[in-house]
Chains A and B, each alone.
Chain A
Amino acid sequence: DAGITQSPRHKVTETGTPVTLRCHQTENHRYMYWYRQDPGHGLRLIHYSYGVKDTDKGEVSDGYSVSRSKTEDFLLTLESATSSQTSVYFCAIRAGGVNTEAFFGQGTRLTVV
C-alpha cells in the first residue's frame, strides 16, 4: 500500500465549529488532492496541491481551505462546519510526470450534527 495516512478516520462535530483533516504521505509525491464522496455524486474534487504552498480549487471548494507547508502533509480545514459537509473525505497522492496513478487514503468519515 502506498504510504498515505488520513487522520482522524472518524469524526463527529457540531455545526459552526472548525474542523481540520490531515493527510500524511511518505512517498514524497508532488501532487496531493482532497475529494469528498457522497451517494449519487461520486468523488468530487475539493482542493489540490501541486507543490509546497501551491494549491488550487476544485469544483466544490466553497467552505473549505487547505494548506501544504511540507511535502508530506496536506491539511483540509472546514472553516465553519455545516451539515452539508457531512461526507467521506478522501486524500489522494500522485507522483506526477510519467507516473500518473493516484493512490487514495482510507478516508475520513465526518459527521456534522
Chain B
Amino acid sequence: KAGVTQTPRYLIKTRGQQVTLSCSPISGHRSVSWYQQTPGQGLQFLFEYFSETQRNKGNFPGRFSGRQFSNSRSEMNVSTLELGDSALYLCASSLSPTNAYEQYFGPGTRLTVT
C-alpha cells in the first residue's frame, strides 16, 4: 500500500500570505490528523477529521483551518501567515478515529515564512 503523501514538500511564503497544504491518507484510512512540529514546541496537535467532520481541535488560532473530502483526502489552510508559523507540518492517517488505532505519518511539508 502506498503511504501517506503530502504536497508540497517544501514551501516558502511571506508574512501575511495564506497557504494550503494537502494530505492523501493510506487507502482505506478514514481518519486524518494534522500536527505542527517545531524544535521548540515539539509535536503539537492541530486537528483531526473523520467522515468530512472535524472531531477534535488543538489550541491553535482560527487562522489554522482544515477540511476533509469524501475520499478522505484532507487539506490544511493557514491564513495571514506569521513568522512563527514556520514549521514542519505533519499529516497522519489511521483506520478509525478511536483511541486504539496507531497513526501513519507522511513525510511532512516544510513551511518557511519570511
Are A and B genuine complex partners? Answer: no
